């Protein structure tokens, strides 16, 4: 006989420290889950204060306020009649833990601290929380007075335990724990836990979703059981975008999959599952044998049936059918992730819009297309009746009048998105024309200016003061003069950007509405190589493409040509990237790749080796000997590696002031959160170079690389 149970999971767009807003979204998700007949609901990791509070997790206020919000959830009768798994931080014996609190009908059943914390890359959970570490170990926890008053309970169990109801057993695994070699879901399953909840604060990275999905699928494919995956979504106040994609998986098959990118603050997924399927799936002798050797969990009993009609089931109830997993193309991920992040950022900081220096090159074009994509998402959400988005549009446009409400992405862009071509005598008609054409197609409010007089007046000031006039290299000047003449143009653009961002809304008749957020467009590869002028337009308020490689940006623009119906973008892809900071002559046109001494393909490979594969110069050289064996000689590879580490180190200081960017790439060089390295590094890497040279010497002496001994 079937044993149907309806379960719910959700993605919530929580904002760090927005206690009331977070509480309201939690309650809304519970109400929706109940309306859909669910008897259990799981929410994202640390959903009460928001996942990304960072050092606010060191403050006692965060814990007190989390309990205060939690008490209002517990005492709200709308949250009764459903088993709740809610994430929040808890102090126990003076230690701070990242916890899940399970409750039913206003009573706490247990508190389950995270056993293995996330502490790599962007994650620093060990900085504020203690890992519980002791699997299957449980203690008593004295509830705070304010909770005692609500629940009439003194003490609850705190630790690695599970819940048994009259009809099933439920256990927890928290985010990173699923990524560990000895993930708790194995021993939970072997001890008879049928439903495993996973509450996550997991961020978006291009091409990462399949890692997460395969881990979830494998967990239940191997052990059998139901996996309820919940994740935060949106920008909760930092560089990360949490990419939702809640899931319900049973016995290795997906029953429900939420959106990875959307502007809905609350998304609830439900599925009807036959628990007998889990029991049948686990009827394997080898599983039975291992279960005898596996640890036993303390069980907190809940005298409730989560599928109450099991003795008298309704034949009309249909179990949810499996469905294939859905993945976005990386190009779509770029169109959607940074766009959602920008929208959250804008509405949450109550900005009046964006300002973008638009050069006619690929990078600022990609930033502009992402803002356009954001406008498309906003209009789509409004058309679909999303009241929160409508309210936010009125806030951001500073216009409450329904008659003025934008109906198309272009109308919205025209109100909130400002682009500006800042030409000089070095600029070409092509770049100026491309910038103008793009702005027309996406609807941005475009300004075209020539800043030659500003540049020449600064150079004159310098000349009057020092009696020296710098001249370009092609006219006989030195390298230093040539560079200074370029850098002043680039830096003045930043100053102008901030002036226009502050005053453009005012020139358009909007008084005292606040300024526009200045967008930056430096990509991962040029930041890694340091091919940018410190404090030029790479210094902005936020940068949606700072974590994206040039190659991915090119792919994104090519994809957008068709998918976003912007044929103008083809001309951006076909153009040779150039900074247009030096005069063009018959013999010379400035080109990025020639200037840098690297192609973007090479930078991508080397960037990945440096960060993802954790290579210093010597091991990078050894790896590249194989990777590039058909493309370059060992000497060329050695020169590339030495030069790469040289430029990376002499320019590392630029990363200390790099504009906060959307994190999207595993090899991001972001100094502030992700890629923590010194910024005063001896660029010679002399011992590494010495070792590279000795390998070259041995190769020259005709020794084979695979048989020689290298120390």
Ligand X SMILES: NC(=O)CC[C@H](N)C(=O)O
Ligand Y SMILES: Nc1ncnc2c1ncn2[C@@H]1O[C@H](COP(=O)(O)OP(=O)(O)OP(=O)(O)O)[C@@H](O)[C@H]1O
Residues with catalytic function? 45, 114, 175, 359
Alpha helical stretches, state H, 294-358:
330-348
Task: Single out the residue of 595, 599, 660, 699 in contact with ligand DND (rule: CB under 6 A).
Answer: 595
* 3 state DSSP class of 418: strand
421 in contact with ligand Y (CB under 6 A)? yes
Task: Single out the residue of 118, 195, 240, 256 in contact with ligand X (rule: CB under 6 A).
Answer: 118
For residue 417, the minimal CB distance to ligand DND (Å) is: 22
Footprint on residues 44-73 left by ligand X (CB under 6 A):
45
Backbone φ and ψ of 97, nearest 5°: -125, 145
257 with 325: CB under 8 angstroms?
Answer: yes
Distance CA 118, CA 143 (A): 27
For residue 451, the minimal CB distance to ligand X (Å) is: 43
215 in contact with ligand DND (CB under 6 A)? no
Furthest C-alpha separation in the chain: 97
274 interface partner picked from ligand Y, ligand DND, ligand X, none, CB below 5 to 8 A per type: none
Distance CA 287, CA 626 (A): 43
Distance CA 699, CA 696 (A): 5
* 3 state DSSP class of 505: helix
According to the 3-state scheme, what is the secondary structure of 590-617?
Answer: CCHHHHHCCCHHHHHHHHHHHHCCCCCH
483 in contact with ligand DND (CB under 6 A)? yes
Site residue total, ligand DND (CB under 6 A): 14
Question: Residue 265's closest CA among 365, 392, 143?
Answer: 392
Task: Single out the residue of 422, 513, 542, 641 in contact with ligand Y (rule: CB under 6 A).
Answer: 422
Interaction pattern, residues 315-354, with ligand Y; x per rule: CB under 6 A: ----------------------------------------
With tokens 């009609």, the residue in question is: 309
Task: Single out the residue of 143, 532, 540, 638 in contact with ligand DND (rule: CB under 6 A).
Answer: 532
242 in contact with ligand X (CB under 6 A)? no
Task: Single out the residue of 5, 183, 581, 609 in contact with ligand DND (rule: CB under 6 A).
Answer: 581
425 with 455: CB under 8 angstroms?
Answer: no
201 interface partner picked from ligand DND, ligand X, ligand Y, none, CB below 5 to 8 A per type: ligand X
Residue number, 174 or 578, with CB nearest to ligand X: 174
Interaction pattern, residues 99-128, with ligand DND; x per rule: CB under 6 A: ------------------------------
Dihedral in degrees, nearest 10, Cα atoms 185, 189, 195, 201 = 0
421 interface partner picked from ligand X, ligand DND, ligand Y, none, CB below 5 to 8 A per type: ligand Y
Vertex 604 angle, CA 598 and 607, to 5°: 95
CA atoms within 13 A on the CB side of 473: 13
201 in contact with ligand X (CB under 6 A)? yes
248 in contact with ligand Y (CB under 6 A)? no
Task: Single out the residue of 359, 486, 661, 666 in contact with ligand Y (rule: CB under 6 A).
Answer: 359
Residue number, 39 or 367, with CB nearest to ligand Y: 367
For 464, residues 6+ apart whose C-beta sits below 8 A from its C-beta are none
Task: Single out the residue of 29, 202, 367, 538 in contact with ligand X (rule: CB under 6 A).
Answer: 202
Distance CA 1, CA 369 (A): 55
Residue number, 118 or 362, with CB nearest to ligand X: 118
118 interface partner picked from ligand DND, ligand Y, ligand X, none, CB below 5 to 8 A per type: ligand X
Distance CA 328, CA 207 (A): 9
As beta bridge partners, residue 88 has: 99
202 interface partner picked from ligand X, ligand DND, ligand Y, none, CB below 5 to 8 A per type: ligand X
For residue 451, the minimal CB distance to ligand Y (Å) is: 9
Helices 409-416 and 429-442, packing angle to 10 deg: 120
> By CB under 6 A, which span of 33-41, 270-278, 483-491, 614-622 interacts with ligand DND?
483-491
For residue 649, the minimal CB distance to ligand DND (Å) is: 8
Distance CA 178, CA 219 (A): 8
> By CB under 6 A, which span of 51-59, 404-412, 431-439, 525-533 interacts with ligand DND?
525-533
> By CB under 6 A, which span of 26-34, 133-141, 339-347, 416-424 interacts with ligand Y?
416-424
Backbone φ and ψ of 533, nearest 5°: -90, 130
How many secondary structure helices (H) and strands (E) does the chain include?
24, 20
364 in contact with ligand DND (CB under 6 A)? no
Footprint on residues 163-182 left by ligand X (CB under 6 A):
175-176, 179
Of all residues in the shown chain, the one whose CB is closest to ligand Y is 361
For residue 535, the minimal CB distance to ligand DND (Å) is: 7
Q: How much is the CA Rg of the chain, to the nearest whole Å?
A: 29
Burial class of residue 33 (count of CB atoms within 10 Å of its CB; 0-12, 13-18, 19+): buried
Distance CA 317, CA 410 (A): 46
As beta bridge partners, residue 10 has: 268
Backbone φ and ψ of 330, nearest 5°: -55, -35
Distance CA 603, CA 607 (A): 6
Task: Single out the residue of 263, 362, 504, 609 in contact with ligand Y (rule: CB under 6 A).
Answer: 362
644 interface partner picked from ligand Y, ligand X, ligand DND, none, CB below 5 to 8 A per type: none
For 457-494, letters b (16+ CB in 10 Å) and e give eebeeeeeeeeeebebbeeebeeebbbebbebbbbbbb
With tokens 């356009």, the residue in question is: 372
364 interface partner picked from ligand Y, ligand DND, ligand X, none, CB below 5 to 8 A per type: ligand Y
Residue number, 174 or 560, with CB nearest to ligand X: 174
Task: Single out the residue of 63, 123, 242, 621 in contact with ligand X (rule: CB under 6 A).
Answer: 123
Task: Single out the residue of 43, 113, 337, 577 in contact with ligand Y (rule: CB under 6 A).
Answer: 577
680 interface partner picked from ligand X, ligand Y, ligand DND, none, CB below 5 to 8 A per type: ligand DND
As beta bridge partners, residue 138 has: 159
644 in contact with ligand Y (CB under 6 A)? no
653 in contact with ligand DND (CB under 6 A)? yes
Residue number, 337 or 357, with CB nearest to ligand Y: 357
487 interface partner picked from ligand Y, ligand DND, ligand X, none, CB below 5 to 8 A per type: ligand DND
Q: What is the distance in angstroms between the CA of the first residue and the CA of the last residue of the chain?
A: 67
Signed CA dihedral, 52, 58, 59, 61: sign only:
positive
Vertex 343 angle, CA 381 and 559, to 5°: 75
Contacts with ligand DND by CB under 6 A lie at 483, 487, 490, 531-534, 536, 579, 581, 595, 653, 679-680
Contacts with ligand X by CB under 6 A lie at 45, 118, 123, 175-176, 179, 200-202
Contacts with ligand Y by CB under 6 A lie at 357-359, 361-364, 420-423, 427, 493, 521-522, 526, 532, 536-538, 577, 579, 592
């Amino acid at each position: 006989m079937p044993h149907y149970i309806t379960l719910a999971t959700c993605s919530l767009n929580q904002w760090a420290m927005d206690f009331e807003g977070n509480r309201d979204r939690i309650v809304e998700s519970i109400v929706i889950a109940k309306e859909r007949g669910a008897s259990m609901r799981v929410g994202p990791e640390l959903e009460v204060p928001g996942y990304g509070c960072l050092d606010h997790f060191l403050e006692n206020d965060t814990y007190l306020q989390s309990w205060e919000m939690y008490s209002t959830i517990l005492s709200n009768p709308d949250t009764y009649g459903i088993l709740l798994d809610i994430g929040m931080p808890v102090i126990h014996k003076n230690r701070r833990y990242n916890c899940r609190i399970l409750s039913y009908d206003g009573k706490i059943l247990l508190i389950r601290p995270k056993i293995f914390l996330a502490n790599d890359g962007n994650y620093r959970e060990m900085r504020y929380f203690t890992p519980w570490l002791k699997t299957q170990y449980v203690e008593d926890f004295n509830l705070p007075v304010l909770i005692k008053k609500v629940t009439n309970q003194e003490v609850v169990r705190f630790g690695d335990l599970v819940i048994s109801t009259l009809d099933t057993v439920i256990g927890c695994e928290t985010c990173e724990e699923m990524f560990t070699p000895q993930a708790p879901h194995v021993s939970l399953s072997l001890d008879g836990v049928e439903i495993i909840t996973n509450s996550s604060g997991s961020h978006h990275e291009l091409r990462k979703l399949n890692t997460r999905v395969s881990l979830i699928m494998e967990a239940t494919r191997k052990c059998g059981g139901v996996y309820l995956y919940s994740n935060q979504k949106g920008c909760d106040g930092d560089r990360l975008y949490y990419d939702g994609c809640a899931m319900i998986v049973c016995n290795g098959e997906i029953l429900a999959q939420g959106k990875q990118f959307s502007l809905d603050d609350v998304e609830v997924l439900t599925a009807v599952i036959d628990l007998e399927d889990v029991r049948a799936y686990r009827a394997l002798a080898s599983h039975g044998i291992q279960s005898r050797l596996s640890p036993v969990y303390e069980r907190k009993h809940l005298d409730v049936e989560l599928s109450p009609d099991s003795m008298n089931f309704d034949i009309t109830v249909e179990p949810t059918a499996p469905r294939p997993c859905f993945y976005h193309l990386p190009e779509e991920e770029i169109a959607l992730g940074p766009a959602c992040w920008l929208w959250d950022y804008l509405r949450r900081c109550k900005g009046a819009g964006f300002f973008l220096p638009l050069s006619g090159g690929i990078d600022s074009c990609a930033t502009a297309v992402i803002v356009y994509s954001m406008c498309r998402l906003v209009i789509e959400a409004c058309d679909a009746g999303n009241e929160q988005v409508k309210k936010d549009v009125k806030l951001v446009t500073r216009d409450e009048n329904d008659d003025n409400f934008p109906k198309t992405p272009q109308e919205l862009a025209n109100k909130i998105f400002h682009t500006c071509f800042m030409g000089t005598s070095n600029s070409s008609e092509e770049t100026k024309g491309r910038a103008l054409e793009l702005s027309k197609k996406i609807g941005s409010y475009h300004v075209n200016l020539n800043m030659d007089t500003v540049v020449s007046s600064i150079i004159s000031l310098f000349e009057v003061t020092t009696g020296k006039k710098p001249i370009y290299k092609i006219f006989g000047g030195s390298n230093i003069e040539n560079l200074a003449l370029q850098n002043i143009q680039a830096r003045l653009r930043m100053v102008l950007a901030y002036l226009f961002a502050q005053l453009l809304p005012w020139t358009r008749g909007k008084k005292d509405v606040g300024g526009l957020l200045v967008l930056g467009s430096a990509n991962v590869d040029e930041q890694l190589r340091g091919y940018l002028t410190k404090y030029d337009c790479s210094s902005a308020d936020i940068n949606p493409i700072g974590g994206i490689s040039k190659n991915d940006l090119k792919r994104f623009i090519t994809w957008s040509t068709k998918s976003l119906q912007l044929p103008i973008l083809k001309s951006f892809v076909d153009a040779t990237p150039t900074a247009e900071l030096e005069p063009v002559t018959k013999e010379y046109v400035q080109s990025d790749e020639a200037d840098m001494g690297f192609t973007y393909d090479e930078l991508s490979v080397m960037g990945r080796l440096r960060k993802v594969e954790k290579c210093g110069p010597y091991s990078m050289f050894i790896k590249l000997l194989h990777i590039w064996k058909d493309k370059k000689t060992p000497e060329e590879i050695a020169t590339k590696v030495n030069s790469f580490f040289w430029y990376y180190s002499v320019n590392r200081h630029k990363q200390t002031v790099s504009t906060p960017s959307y994190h999207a790439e595993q090899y991001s060089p972001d100094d502030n959160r992700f890629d923590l390295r010194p910024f005063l590094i001896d660029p010679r890497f002399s011992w590494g170079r010495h070792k590279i040279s000795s390998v070259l010497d041995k190769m020259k002496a005709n020794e084979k690389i695979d048989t020689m001994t290298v120390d």
